[in-house]
Structures are given as C-alpha cells and as structure tokens.
C-alpha cells in the first residue's frame, strides 16, 4: 500500500481508504448500499488491514449513527492500528439543533461520535456540508476547542464550494485556528467538475482530496453498458436519483474507453477507474466501499500498477467535457495558458 500525506499536514493516509456507508445499513438509501453487521464488518476490516488500508470513513448521518456503531465494534481492540474519519452537519433529526455546524451541534456531534465509535478521539473530523446560517468564526472556534481538548486531531470539509472553502481557510489563518487539511469530494471519470476550481484550490491551499464515489455512484462497475438493460440487482434502481447525474451517452463513451483498456491490461473496469484517480493531482486517498469480500478484494486490485500515458490520454479524451463559466471563454485564446496553466491533464475542450 502506498501512503500519502493528507494535504498540507503530517498525517499519512493510505492511497485507498474504506468507506463504511454499508455498515449497519438502514432505510431506503443506506439499506440499498448494504446491511453489513458487526461480524461482517470485522472481517472486512481484517482484509483492509492485511492490505494496508488503515483509514476508515463514516458519518453520523449514515443510517442515523448505526455505521459509526458498527465500525466501533469492528475496530475494537485495535484502535491504535486505524485512522478513524467521520463527518457531521447534515440533518440527524427534525429538531432546530439537529443540523448544521453551530457550536452546540459540533460539540454534541463530536461527543456522540466518540461514544458510538467507542474511542476517545477522532483522527479526522469533517463538516459534511457548509452551514450558511452559522458564522464561520463560530464554526472554526468550536472546532479549535475540540482540537485543543484532544478530541479531534485533524479537520476537514466535504462538498464545499470554492468560496466556502477559501473563506473558511482565510478566517482560520486570521484567528490562528487549525486549518482544514482535507476536502472529501465527488470525483470520477464521469464526474470531473472537481478539476475546474476545487483542484487548483486544493493545490494552492494544501487541501488533500478524499474521493467519494470513485465509480460514479456505481455506474463504472462494468455492469452498466450501452444497449443493455440495467441489471435487476443494481442499487441504481433505488438510488440513482440520490447521486450525481450523468448523461447516458457520456457514460457509455467512458465505459467504451475503459473496455478497451481492460482488454489491454487484463484489469477490471472498476480497477482502471480507481487507478486513474490515484494518478490525479491533489488526491490523497480514494474511498472504496464494498458490500462483501469479493467487491473489496476486486477494488484492492486498483493499486500496485499504473496506467500508461497513452491509456491516460484515451480516458481523458473520452471523459472530457467543456469547462463551465467562467473557465471556458478564454481557454482557446493564445496566451491564456501562461496566465492559468492547466492542472494536470484537465478535461480538454472540444474543437472550436
């Protein structure tokens, strides 16, 4: 397993980490992801640790805290071997204090997470969404207190826009609060919007990307193909509307390219899609999920090798999209790249 620094921090995380949204799955969304109990979860954690995956990501909103509880049972007796990451801010109930990032909510959410996980500290505590109703100064002050008390070691965000992240980082610097070092983001071959603003921000400000849904909400498994009905057992039947949208033709174009590379390499489509992400700028760790041992072991095959430059170019061409405003107006003009050089191999624009 390769280990990378998490953004501009000293914390080293594995290139692949494990997402526990399937643990204790309940309800129409998380129940469709998986219903892994404590015994099954412990076995999956065993496999992860044997492979060098030491970071486990969860959230209080995953099945109303059940994911944290199951993860806590699965890591019991080996807390010193793992990095525990959890998130808060999304609604946990209908009460006025059950959502957001107020001081009260953050303190309560942290204490609840510690109790459910059976630990005395969180290695990474992330805000699951930006709370526009709470002053950023209040948010950062509360997080600062949790760090000083030893309950939290590193801080991160998830699904923030560029201005939300930059405002938070600027205020943290102004008042001497701990800075966010991680940004948990959606990023995949069929969802490259992260590249246009958040990736350059991450490079500039030292935010390491923790990638969620690297297989495009289950669409890059190799089972969703052109002129073929969606498999009867696919969770997309129940969850497609909850995830990032993608046009069918764009998906099929990317899958066609993945098919070609699979034939060249002998690798599975999910392994190729994850390997591509591991070669992208700012990516500290790709969060993989699995409902069973077979899925987990297949995803582990994404590491230990690298796509060739020609294969990367093929994937970039198939997955490229026109940049959104304000990035597209000047990109075809001579001299633009001197002012704004591309980050990595950003999605190419179609010919004029």
Among all residues, which ones are annotated catalytic? 62
Task: Give the C-alpha separation, 105 to 111, whole Å.
Answer: 10
Question: Using CA atoms, how far apart are residues 135 and 158, in angstroms rounded to an integer?
Answer: 18
Helix, strand, or coil here: 250?
helix
CB burial of residue 65 (10 Å; 0-12, 13-18, 19+): buried
Kindly give, in sequence order, each residue whose CB lies less than 8 Å from that of residue 40, ignoring residues fewer than 6 positions away: 292
Residues 6+ apart with CB under 8 A from 201: 162, 165, 166, 207
Spatial neighbors of 310 by CB under 8 A, at least 6 apart, are: none
- Please give the radius of gyration of the chain, using alpha carbons only, rounded to the nearest integer: 20
- The Cα 51–Cα 46 span in angstroms is 9
Q: How far apart are CA 176 and CA 180, in angstroms?
A: 12
Which residue, 352, 189, 211, 182, is CA-closest to 285?
211
């Amino acid at each position: 397993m390769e280990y990378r620094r998490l953004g501009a921090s000293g914390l080293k995380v594995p290139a692949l980490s494990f997402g526990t949204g399937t643990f204790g799955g309940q309800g129409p969304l998380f129940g469709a992801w998986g219903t892994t109990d404590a015994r099954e979860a412990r076995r999956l954690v065993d496999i992860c640790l044997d492979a060098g995956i030491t970071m486990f990501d969860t959230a209080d909103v995953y099945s109303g805290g059940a994911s944290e509880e199951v993860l806590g049972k699965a890591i019991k007796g080996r807390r010193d071997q793992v990095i525990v990451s959890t998130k808060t801010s999304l609604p946990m109930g209908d009460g006025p204090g059950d959502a957001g990032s107020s001081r009260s909510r953050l303190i309560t959410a942290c204490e609840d997470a510690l109790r459910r996980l059976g630990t005395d500290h969180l290695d990474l505590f992330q805000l699951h969404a930006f709370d526009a109703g709470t002053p950023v100064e209040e948010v950062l002050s509360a997080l600062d207190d949790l760090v000083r008390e030893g309950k939290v070691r590193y801080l991160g965000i998830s699904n923030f826009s560029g201005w939300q992240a930059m405002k938070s980082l600027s205020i943290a610097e102004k008042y001497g609060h701990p800075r966010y070092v991680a940004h948990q983001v959606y990023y995949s071959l069929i969802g490259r919007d992260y590249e246009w603003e958040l990736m350059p921000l991450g490079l500039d400000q030292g935010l390491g990307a923790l990638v969620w849904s690297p297989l495009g909400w289950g669409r890059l498994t190799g089972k969703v193909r052109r002129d073929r009905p969606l498999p009867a057992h696919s969770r997309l039947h129940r969850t497609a509307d909850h995830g990032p949208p993608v046009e069918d033709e764009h998906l099929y174009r990317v899958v066609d390219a993945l098919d070609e590379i699979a034939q060249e390499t002998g690798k599975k489509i999910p392994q190729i899609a994850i390997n591509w992400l591991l070669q992208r700028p700012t990516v500290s760790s790709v969060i993989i999920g699995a409902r069973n041992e077979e899925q987990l072991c297949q995803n582990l095959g994404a590491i230990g090798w690298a796509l060739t430059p020609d294969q990367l170019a093929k994937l970039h061409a198939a997955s490229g999209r026109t940049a959104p405003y304000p990035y597209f107006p000047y990109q075809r003009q001579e001299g633009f790249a001197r002012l704004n050089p591309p980050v990595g191999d950003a999605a190419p624009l179609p010919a004029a």
